[in-house]
Amino acid sequence: MTTEAESASVVLGVSGGIAAYKAADLLRKLTEAGHEVTVLPTRAALQFVGEPTWAALSHNPVATDVWTDAHQVPHVALGRRADLVVVAPATADLLAKAAHGLADDLLTNTLLTARCPVLFAPAMHTEMWEHPATVANVATLRSRGAVVMEPGYGRLTGTDTGRGRLAEPVEIARLAELLLRRPTALPQDLAGRRVVITAGGTREPLDPVRYLGNRSSGRQGFDLASVAAARGARVSLIAANVELPAPAAAELVPVTTAEQLREATLAAAKDADVVVMAAAVADFRPASLAESKIKKSGAPDAVELVANPDILSELVAARAAGELSPRVIVGFAAETGDAQADALTHGKQKLVRKGCDLLVVNEVSATTVFGQPDNAAVILGRHGDQVEVPLGPKTVLAAALCDGIAQLLAGKLTG
């Protein structure tokens, strides 16, 4: 298996649903990442997107049956050399065949021979996703180590709306990249857990058009929500001013200001197992809000600021008082070194002050972390443990943080 950002052999299976057109975008993202992709559409999938499209985008020939180039035994060769198999969309029919080991085409044969990670991205009508047969098939696949994403909620075929929408290609691609780097990154160790995650950066209005804010894109929090959901968690994602497609399985709660984020977080934390404060919350806000746009000619010499609430400390205090239930509370610290200490030392001091269970320390600058696809951090534990996560995709840091959260949950449950 590949553990670095190197070219990998990826099989992209496409089954016969209307969402097959989105797989073309996923294919593009996988090839642009430098991976060698072989597309295996089912016969039904070719009714939605034709063979020339898959061949042109993948730069590889396309086959659907085991008889093409039979002398090369493709259903065995493809499975053996694959570093990852992604099936998107995965229909109810495809999930049923995979769960029961049926093999009537090249894709389902390859699923039986593959010994690499397998990622299914389902797409179907709500009634089909919720049917006991599909529920059982998904449980079977997960019990065997396959990763089955939860579909999103939204517009389906025709006028239908509900659970069953294919996850966005960008989310599928990020989870695929994570599995190529860490094949065991998505176990079901958060199954049934309620996880609340904040993301993005708050904005504190100064007048009707201006605000005080920061450069946080929310990408780390969104990737954390995606990874936690893939590990079985029920995720509530409180997003402050984030312009990214929401993870398919997360319940999205949009907010703007620090006070709105505080209210939403405290409400969601009442029945949560885990709260992760990944949002960049403004420390201060203007003391007053101008009713109309401040003109250049009438600009004040200074803007009076007042402190925003310390939500992380409030969560820890409320848990200690028995008012909230989270077993694990995680903070984020965007730090820079100064004359007094380096960024990590500042982070360790913050962990003591805040009293949370884990603290993710990022050393930030004008060109790192915020808005970037990669991140590096040190995860500090309240018992003195320390995990360094080198620079890499933010999903890798998310997986490392979920490792720590799962270990804390297991320790509390047994002790």
pLDDT tens digits, 335-367: 877 778 788 988 999 999 999 999 999 887 544
The tally of CA atoms less than 13 A away on the side-chain side of residue 115 is 5
**pLDDT value of position 370:** 65
Instruction: List per-block mean pLDDT (blocks of 10 residues) for the chain, which spans 415 residues.
Output: 67 95 97 96 95 93 68 69 97 98 95 97 96 98 97 84 94 98 97 97 93 91 98 98 95 97 97 97 91 82 90 97 95 82 89 96 67 88 93 96 96 47
Q: Determine the CATH number of domain 9-181.
A: 3.40.50.1950
d(Cα 318, Cα 321) in Å, to the nearest integer? Answer: 5
d(Cα 64, Cα 70) in Å, to the nearest integer? Answer: 12
d(Cα 392, Cα 251) in Å, to the nearest integer? Answer: 27
**pLDDT value of position 292:** 86
SS3 135: helix
Question: What distance lies between CA 318 and its chain's CA centroid?
Answer: 28
**pLDDT value of position 296:** 81
- Residue ranges of alpha helices (H) inside 269-310 are none
Backbone phi and psi for residue 87, each to the nearest 5 degrees, phi listed first:
-115, 110
**pLDDT value of position 405:** 97
Q: Which of 231, 134, 216 is nearest to 178 (CA)?
A: 231
Total residue length of the chain: 415
Give the residue extent of every domain in the chain.
9-181, 194-414
**Residues assigned a catalytic role:** 214
SS3 22: helix
pLDDT over 70 percentage in the chain: 93
In this chain, the answer to whether the domains covering 9-181 and 194-414 adopt an identical fold is yes
**Which DSSP category does 71 fall into?**
G
Q: Determine the CATH number of domain 194-414.
A: 3.40.50.10300
**pLDDT value of position 191:** 96
**pLDDT value of position 2:** 41
195 with 189: CB under 8 angstroms? no
User: DSSP of 97-159, one letter per residue?
Assistant: HHHHT--SSHHHHHHHH--S-EEEEE---HHHHHSHHHHHHHHHHHHTT-EEPPPEEEE-STT
d(Cα 144, Cα 193) in Å, to the nearest integer? Answer: 20
